[in-house]
Structure 1
């Protein structure tokens, strides 16, 4: 079976979302005859100048290579350019003009393919939608989180666009039951929807430290230091925990726009926090083996692979009740309310309770190891091939 993939890989920041796609592609590359197109969204020069004037985020060209090979997978890089005229095309129902040039670049591979698979609902799913229009090729669309819980919810127009993509797709695959449930709440009624999960690399994330962690109590956060992750709440969460448990220290792994502010706040509050910045997967796993508890106070989270990675390394998870997190945590952690007014106190209370009881870290680790990428891709194989 020949498949052309339309992907969205951030080659600058190889973090969770990068691996959620790349680890699939490594296995898909062995299961099917594949062509991988990494469609990188950039701003045209006029749009970049306009954004600069209004201090908006600019998406520049950042990679010169026509292709890149990672773990034996060849990704062909194609730029998809945002321009000032985009709004104009949308207003006059001429949106398809935006995609014609891009589709023409890859039309030879598309014509030889049995199927198109897009990862991300927009714009990659929209590109697949127009491939179906122009070249009559079936497509499967994957949805990873913000394409549903943020993009589709930001306007009725965006929601309609996502629903159109779903309607024309042969199949729609969602990361987690919660994400799929949201589309049903949008009013989607077709039965071409499936849910899957993200996996973990158990060669990297496993329990190496078998010592009694109760002697050294470390509470950790792993993720982007942004408001969507409630990273802005970390100083108050840490202060509340530290007030009740003076023998703990804190570890923050990750980077983002809030990092400098958080470092200053934690220092002013006198909290022992180590900010590591962004680390490789191997370095993250090493740190996770030192953690007693990982906290994830996210406002929105489609799945939460970082919980499973930490679990595999023997860390207990305390996280908010949002998106796919309850599904990830199961009976092997503590869920708190997803509420700005209560999240600090509830996480503090859960941490204190957890530090005072014996945790079967081996049991937590063994359960997490069932979420291997091979297991997940084997199940997805039958959805794709059927």
Structure 2
């Protein structure tokens, strides 16, 4: 006679039913309430915190070793690319600590650059200005001149003009612009009259002032000028500049000596400018986050930051990574800022409309 084993007492039975199954929200809450997820991925957590601190404290990064501070500030917007990479790692490791730590770099990045993600352009404007480093190796200066003419610029600044290309630019642009001046490798074309034209000394390596030979050499290699544009609303002081190059050198680090020297000289010139309305156009070979341009950014505003849409990256033209070409203003209001069509140069042009 078989015996049926006694059933388990009611208290030992595993309860079943929908009321005992934790929901997805409950499971997530229970997982996060345990200390284990916060201990996972310590390297990811530390990396997120270091990323946020680097962006937050970038002005305190010293330049004594290889100009590290300026190099960090040059690529500062790209630090944001690290956030989704770290977030993917945190989710893969199920590291709640790393996810929470990422709030720091996200907050700092949005505070620094979030405003650039918005379109701040407005219709209208009294004057359109365009600046373009046309490139010494530009294979088709004639096409470049025609593209720039089509931009609708009232005032057009060119940098890196070679002696070979200069006659081509002068011939093509003369069809639209009645007034022009070219000093060294920079030039200014305008639909409106130009006056009070003079070079701006941003380099001091050509010999002492007062020597006729050295003065001639300085003028030949001049990289900045100042002119007055006469408008119906009054005079406008326009500066055109092409600062020295910035290069990454394995021995010297981020080499910017010539550029920084030029930035300081240009800052002094703008500070001494008596005109109330000033526009600076040019290739500054650096981003405005770089501390090297403090003497300019403390006195002038970027048209792209005030009235642009996005970062407005300009170099290299094939795949822009940084904005080193700028329109800076003082005493006038930018209404819009954009990049006209690409030319044969390795830079993209920059344009802005301004109003009184």
Please confirm whether the aligned pair reaches a TM-score higher than 0.5, indicating the same fold: no
- Higher helix share goes to which structure? 1
TM-score by length of 2: 0.29
Higher relative contact order (CA 8 A, sep 6+): 2
TM-score by length of 1: 0.27
